[in-house]
Amino acid sequence: MGNSKSVETKEKDRLTTGTASIKKPSSSSTRGSGSLSGSQPKKPLLNASQRSIIKYCLDNAKEDMTDRIVRRVGEKKEEFKMFIETLPKEEKVQYTDSLKEFLFLVCNSLTDSEFVQKISNEYGQKQASLRTKGFKPDFFAGTADAVTTECTFLDGAAHAPSETAGAWSELSTFVFSNVRDGYYQELRKQRKNSTTQSKIKLSEMAQESKDDELTRSSTSPEKSGDNNSKDNSRSSKEGTPQFLLPPDTVY
């Protein structure tokens, strides 16, 4: 009797343990699943030394950093200067503020080059709306140069000037190349939409013209029939005695 109870208890423990092992997967299997479904590791944009230089410069940045950048671009490019000066004050402030926000977001995301590329494209797409106000894509190259120059000054010779300038130059080149790409992507999208709308408009106009022709052709036989009946009536009257013929012409 005691032996049967002991066997029953062991069997229950075995089943309980087996059930628990089914519900709770091992840590090794969990790691394996994560490695299969997990995303790829992020790729840094710059090396560790360059990222450290960028961070040091930003820590020393002042509130007017982007104002100085915009002013420097205008000093190098007369067309950009005219573009900025013709903007309303509110839009000018918005332009410099958006540039500042963009640059800080970039510099705080240097460990993820794909994200930097994405936000750079998006920033360029937004700039496409300024094209009607005189903005040109070659302003991006001037902005990249100005960012490199002004941000190198922020280092204050704490690092070797060549290293600081090199870090900012590499960053600016990558960022504003993608900004320019985003700008052109948006322009192509706008032109494609415009072409599509034009085709739709032409198709509608052609259909309207076709409908008008069908309407005219459906009503013209009735009018022609009326004219023929009038001519026939006149001819029949000419044959009757009561119809007066015009007098003969006397030469």
Does 53 map to a domain? yes
Does 57 map to a domain? yes
Give the model's pLDDT for residue 54: 97
Q: Print pLDDT tens along the chain (251 aa).
A: 445 445 445 444 544 444 343 333 343 333 333 334 456 788 999 999 999 999 999 999 999 999 999 999 999 999 999 999 999 999 999 999 999 999 999 999 999 999 999 999 999 999 999 999 999 999 999 999 999 999 999 999 999 999 999 999 999 999 999 999 999 999 999 888 776 666 566 666 666 666 667 777 666 555 555 555 555 555 555 555 554 555 555 54
In the DSSP assignment, the letter for residue 88 is -
Contacts of 160 (CB under 8 A, 6+ apart): none
Report how many domains make up the chain.
Answer: 1
| CA-based torsion, 136, 144, 127, 85: positive or negative | negative
Whole-model pTM: value is 0.63
CA–CA dist 31, 29 (Å, integer): 5
Expressed as residue numbers, the domain containing 149 is: 48-198
**Tokens describing residue 127:** 């700039």
Q: Which CATH number characterizes residue 190's domain?
A: 1.10.490.10
Longest CA–CA span in the chain (Å) reads 156
Q: What's the angle, vertex CA 198, arms to CA 193 and CA 203, rounded to 5?
A: 125
